[in-house]
Amino acid sequence: MLRVRSLAVLTLAAALLFVSAPPADAATGPVYAGTGWKIETGQGIYSLAPDVYTVVFADATARSKLKAYFAKPAAQVTAVTGVPVTVTDTVDATPVTACPARHRIVVHYEDRPTGAAGTSQALPCYDTGDGSAWGGHVRIDSEYWAKANWFSTDAAKNDAYRANAISHEFGHILGLDHPNYDRDKDGVVEAFECATTSTGTRPLMCSPNGGYYNSVDAGKFVLSFDVPGLKQLAANWYLRGGV
C-alpha cells in the first residue's frame, strides 16, 4: 500500500537552549536542497537545532509496537549530525492538534490516522523564532500489522517496508521533505520520481516510499541521498545564525 503524509503545519515559538561549534565543513550559506534530498522549508523548517531531540509515545501500545523501529534511525541521525536523538519509554498524551514540548517527537499507533487505507502521517512543528525543527507527531497506521503480508508476501521485505515507513515520517519531523522531481521531464512530478543509486535505491524520503529493503539497513536513511540532507539541516543552524 502507498503511504503519504498530511501537509499540516503546527507552530510554536520558544527560547533556544544549547549550541556547540559549527561543523568545520560548513558551506558559506544555508542550503535547502541537493541530489536526492530537500528540506521542508514549506513547513517552516530550515534547520535542526543542536540540542537533544527525544522520541516519546502516545500510549503503551504505541511504545510496545513501535519503539524498536526508532533505534536505527535515531542512532544514525545522532552519528551523522552530532544532534543527539534519544528513544525513551516516556508516554506523552499531547493531542495531535497541539505541538508537544520542545524537541519531543510523539509517536502514535492508530488505525488509518488520515482516514485513508495504508496511510501514515507526520505533523511537524517548527520554531517560529529561528525556523528550526521543533518536534511534532508521527502517526503510524496500525494496518501495516493487520496482515502478515500488508506490503509484501516476503516476511523480511514486509518488515523492511514498515521500518522505512516509520523512518520516513520521522524524517519529516526532523525537517526532510519529499525529494521528488520531474525526472522524466513530462511536466509532472510523480510518485517514485526521485534520484536513484546505480542499483536503483531511492531516497528513504522519496514519495510514496524508498530506502533500503534488507534487514540490516531497512529503516536507515540512504547514505548518498538522505544523509547529506540531514547533515545540511544541522549545518544550517549555524549558517542561519542559530544562537
Residue owning grid cell 534530498: 37
User: What is the tens place of the pLDDT at every residue in 94-149?
Assistant: 999 999 999 999 999 999 999 999 999 999 999 999 999 999 999 999 999 998 88
Asked if residue 221 is part of any domain, the answer here is yes
CA angle in degrees (0–180, nearest 5) for 118-121-123: 175
Instruction: Please provide the DSSP assignment of 124-172 as one string.
Output: EEEETTT-BEEEEEEEEEGGGGTSTTSS-SSHHHHHHHHHHHHHHHHHH
Give the count of domains, the chain: 1
Asked if residue 7 is part of any domain, the answer here is no
List the grid coordinates of 111: 488505525
pTM for the predicted model, two decimal places: 0.89
CATH at residue 155: 3.40.390.10
Q: What share of the chain is helix, strand, coil (3-state, %, to 5)?
A: 25, 20, 55
Asked if residue 25 is part of any domain, the answer here is no
Supply the pLDDT for residue 27: 53
User: What is the tens place of the pLDDT at every residue in 145-158?
Assistant: 998 889 988 888 99
Supply the pLDDT for residue 3: 35
Asked if residue 154 is part of any domain, the answer here is yes
Q: What is the mean pLDDT of the chain?
A: 90
**First-last CA distance in the chain:** 43
Asked if residue 184 is part of any domain, the answer here is yes
Asked if residue 2 is part of any domain, the answer here is no
pLDDT over 50 (residue 46): yes
User: What is the tens place of the pLDDT at every residue in 229-242?
Assistant: 999 999 999 999 88
User: What domain range is 223 assigned to?
Assistant: 35-233
Supply the pLDDT for residue 243: 62
Q: State mean pLDDT over 24-41.
A: 85
Supply the pLDDT for residue 173: 98
Supply the pLDDT for residue 24: 42
Asked if residue 182 is part of any domain, the answer here is yes
Kindly report which listed range (11-25, 65-79, 169-183) carries the lowest average pLDDT score: 11-25
Asked if residue 9 is part of any domain, the answer here is no
The percentage of the chain sitting over the pLDDT mark of 70, rounded to a whole number, equals 88
